[in-house]
């Protein structure tokens, strides 16, 4: 099966369209005010309206309250929610949208247990762990910690770049990969050339 690609941290229409032209399957919008990639609801709605069909849109939250999530769901028509904080499974399931759960690969974390705990998730997104930083660290983790039998329900994230993505796809064989900082010209601004090189790397890793 082809490895799906999500480009996260979209803040501008031209970056969204560059990602779609390059073949991205999904676009991520960060609704987390401390992040340099944070987007306002109106901005995300405008970008989402400009998209062609068959592109999955993903709203990323970190321990957001119900009202904030409901506003994004109603105002943007987002397809999927990515929970990137300490949200429990019941909370993730409350918002009327399919969801994925980000798990930060702290030492000792057991991916099998996380998968069982978040059985209602469409997939688990595995990201690097840095204390005090919820995500978008640009750091990788030891991919050998991902059990082979989970690969088909894993979205691999954390420090992926055009230079390491082929190796990552070859080694992990994840359902999908997720990149933010690795395809940026600066924080919150994507680099169309880097996106294209990233997409080529994904293909190369599958050959």
Catalytic residues: 8, 127
DSSP letters spanning 92-104: HTTSSS-EEEEEE
| Minimum CB distance to ligand LGQLAAA5, residue 53 (Å) | 23
CA distance 136 to 27: 15
179 forms part of the interface with ligand LGQLAAA5 (CB under 6 A): yes
89 forms part of the interface with ligand LGQLAAA5 (CB under 6 A): no
The single residue listed with the structure tokens 């005090």 is: 132
CB contact at 8 A, 118 and 101: yes
Which residues have C-beta within 8 Å of that of residue 112, sequence separation ≥ 6?
A: 147, 150
Phi, psi (degrees; rounded to nearest 5) at 164: -110, -5
The nearer residue to ligand LGQLAAA5, 95 or 104, going by C-beta atoms, is 104
The interface with ligand LGQLAAA5 within residues 112-151 (CB under 6 A) comprises: 125, 127, 134-138
Each residue 1-30 as x (binds ligand LGQLAAA5 by CB under 6 A) or -, in order, gives -------xx------------------x-x
| Minimum CB distance to ligand LGQLAAA5, residue 125 (Å) | 6
174 forms part of the interface with ligand LGQLAAA5 (CB under 6 A): no
Q: Which of 121, 134, 126 is nearest to 168 (CA)?
A: 126
Binding window for ligand LGQLAAA5 (CB under 6 A); candidates: 16-24, 91-99, 107-115, 176-184: 176-184
154 forms part of the interface with ligand LGQLAAA5 (CB under 6 A): no
162 forms part of the interface with ligand LGQLAAA5 (CB under 6 A): no
The single residue listed with the structure tokens 């990969």 is: 177
35 forms part of the interface with ligand LGQLAAA5 (CB under 6 A): yes
Here the tokens at position 28 are: 């991520």
First vs last C-alpha separation in the chain: 12
CA distance 159 to 80: 22
Q: What is the DSSP letter of 60?
A: E
Binding residues vs ligand LGQLAAA5 (CB under 6 A): 8-9, 28, 30, 32, 35, 37, 60, 62, 84, 125, 127, 134-138, 157-160, 178-182
């Amino acid at each position: 099966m082809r490895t799906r690609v999500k480009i996260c941290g979209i803040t501008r229409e031209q970056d969204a369209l560059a990602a779609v032209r390059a073949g991205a399957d999904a676009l991520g919008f960060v609704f987390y005010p401390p992040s340099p990639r944070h987007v306002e609801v109106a901005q995300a709605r405008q970008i989402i309206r400009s998209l062609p069909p068959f592109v999955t849109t993903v709203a990323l939250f970190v321990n957001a309250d119900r009202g904030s999530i409901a506003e994004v769901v109603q105002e943007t028509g987002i397809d999927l929610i990515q929970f990137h904080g300490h949200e429990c499974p019941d909370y993730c399931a409350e918002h009327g949208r399919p969801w994925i759960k980000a798990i930060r690969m702290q030492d000792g974390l057991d991916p099998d247990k996380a998968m069982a705990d978040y059985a209602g998730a469409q997939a688990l997104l595995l990201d690097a762990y840095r204390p005090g930083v919820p995500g978008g660290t640009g750091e990788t983790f030891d991919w050998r910690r991902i059990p082979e039998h989970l690969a088909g329900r894993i979205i691999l994230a954390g420090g992926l770049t055009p230079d390491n993505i082929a190796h990552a796809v070859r080694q992990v064989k994840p359902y999908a990969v997720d990149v933010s900082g690795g395809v940026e010209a600066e924080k919150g601004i994507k680099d169309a050339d880097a996106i294209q090189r990233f997409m080529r790397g994904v293909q190369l890793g599958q050959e």
